[in-house]
Amino acid sequence: MRKTINGMKRVIFGIAVLLGLFGATIGQEVVAPLPECPLDDYGVIDWQSEAARLDNLIIHLKGSPEFSAFIWLRLTEKEDAGKRISKIRKHFLFRDKKFDLNRLVFGIVRSENIATIIYSVPPEAKLPKICGNNCRVFKGKEMPN
């Protein structure tokens, strides 16, 4: 009996500590990561894996309708940026025909280090300044040349 009471005291103490640490967020809306923190970051992967990651982004944006996404594409010189953006846009519309493509912003930079880096951008935030001067930026409905 005494062991049970001591065990329960420890559990209650643990819960109290957690509530103390995270009490400020209870009852408040969860805020997406700041633009400096990527929501996702990946290199060369197959389309099925990328589609799953884009599905996670769609779920995130549906849960935060005021947020937008900045999708930074680091592509080689040989890759067609228009085809890549078109494929991502088509995936969003395939999953949700009413999705506002202007909630997507694409940044394209040419690099030997292929990567896709996705940021969740709150409405009051500016786009991340990670692209640098060589980055071309397009709204979701715009297409690169």
Domain spans in the chain, listed from the N-terminal domain onward: 1-30, 31-139
Answer yes or no: is pLDDT of 24 > 50: no
Can you give the pLDDT at residue 31? Answer: 43
Structure-model confidence comparison of residues 65 and 124, the more confident one: 65
Domain 31-139 has CATH 3.30.1330: yes
pLDDT in tens, 57-111: 999 999 999 999 999 999 999 999 889 999 999 999 999 888 999 899 999 999 8
Return all residues near 130 (Cβ < 8 A) that are at least 6 apart: 72, 107, 117
Answer yes or no: is pLDDT of 51 > 80: yes
Can you give the pLDDT at residue 137? Answer: 84
Tell me the whole-structure pTM to 2 decimals.
0.70
Reported as a pLDDT band with limits 50, 70 and 90, residue 144 is low
Structure-model confidence comparison of residues 138 and 86, the more confident one: 86
Buried b (16+ CB within 10 A) or exposed e, 117-139: bbbbbeeebebbeebeeebeebe
